[in-house]
Amino acid sequence: MTPQPTYTGKVRDVFDAGPDHLLFVASDRISAFDVVLGEPIPDKGRVLTAMTAFWLDQLADVAPNHMVSVDPADLGAGASEIPDAAGRTMLVRRAEMLPIECIVRGYLTGSALKEYQATGTMHGTALPAGLEASSRLPEPVFTPSTKAAEGHDENISYEQAVALVGAEVAAEARRISMEAYSRGAELAAERGIIIADTKFELGFIDGRLAICDEVLTPDSSRFWPADQWVVGRTPPSFDKQPVRDWLESTGWDKTPPAPPLPAEVVSASRDRYVEAYERVTGNRFADWFGVSA
């Protein structure tokens, strides 16, 4: 019998792996405009897992993390019962998660741009006048948000984060997030990719704040090709941009169910995820666990 996940999200399934561990399985499901689509993006879960493993190794000196192994030989008997688990499964340590999303923004886009255009602020803090869409911020900024059980997360100020988790924890969360973003953005820039912003999940393991969940992937970050970055316009991103663009072109009202994706849109989206992995890591995706040639 196939084991049942203890948690199922839009993309990730979580399985019990004993008192101290969990199995994180990244599916190929894809969502757009908060709706899970009917067609998966082949190997998307493997890209997210492979990129997370790469970054956790790169950031090991910034903070501890929850990863134990991604090698199928290390995942235990439970993983062998999960269909198509190789390459998309990570054995992790359990953590006591913070009730905030740890977002770092290096460029003005997304919800931060909308707030700035309305009020001249970002998460309640004033920004210089005259910024446009995709403007590089004077320096990266830690901009936390709440974790909503339903609906959208809410952007909050640093002071509100302190009220939720305490001054010491908020300061350490900010340090880890800022250092991890800066390290990631610097490496990606060397490979022609801008990381406009990103989201980290942090939790306590053995009394220390650790990096958990997925890290610096196209789903948790905005990856832009540096050679297509122009202030005033939003560059194409290395993720599900072909999916969003096609859905917008159909006139869909963004309520479930979404229209079926054409095969060429699915293929184009897969290609973007794989290109992001290979450009950032310098590794061949074909060499990753479970990837068929």
pLDDT on residue 142 = 97
Give backbone dihedrals phi and psi of 259, rounded to 5 degrees, phi first: -65, 150
164-194 residue pLDDT tens? 999 999 999 999 999 999 999 999 999 999 9
pLDDT on residue 292 = 84
CATH 1.10.1040.10 describes domain 97-228: no
Domain at 1-94, CATH from 3.30.200.20, 3.40.640.10, 3.10.129.10, 3.40.50.300: 3.30.200.20
235 vs 190: CA distance, rounded Å: 18
Q: What is the DSSP string of 76-100?
A: -HHHHTSTT-TTTEEEEE--EE-SE
pLDDT on residue 4 = 82
Give backbone dihedrals phi and psi of 267, rounded to 5 degrees, phi first: -65, -40
pLDDT on residue 57 = 98
Which residues touch 163 (CB under 8 Å, ≥6 apart)? none
Q: Which residues in the chain land under pLDDT 70?
A: 1-2, 149-152, 293
SS3 helix, strand, coil % of the chain, rounded to 5? Answer: 35, 25, 40
pLDDT on residue 293 = 55
Domain with CATH 3.30.200.20 in the chain: 1-94
Helices 263-281 and 44-58, packing angle to 10 deg: 20
Q: Contacts for 146-155 with beta carbons within 8 Å, 24 or more apart?
A: 146/99, 146/100, 146/101, 147/99, 147/100, 147/101, 152/34, 153/101, 155/111, 155/112, 155/115, 155/123
Tell me how long the chain is. 293
pLDDT on residue 148 = 73
Cβ proximity of 111 and 123 under 8 Å: no
Cβ proximity of 164 and 99 under 8 Å: yes
Which residues touch 98 (CB under 8 Å, ≥6 apart)? 165, 169, 173, 201, 202, 203, 204, 209
pLDDT on residue 149 = 63
pLDDT on residue 199 = 96
- Token pair for residue 211? 């990096």
Shortest CA distance to 7 belongs to which of 114, 97, 113?
A: 97
Shortest CA distance to 89 belongs to which of 293, 291, 289?
A: 289
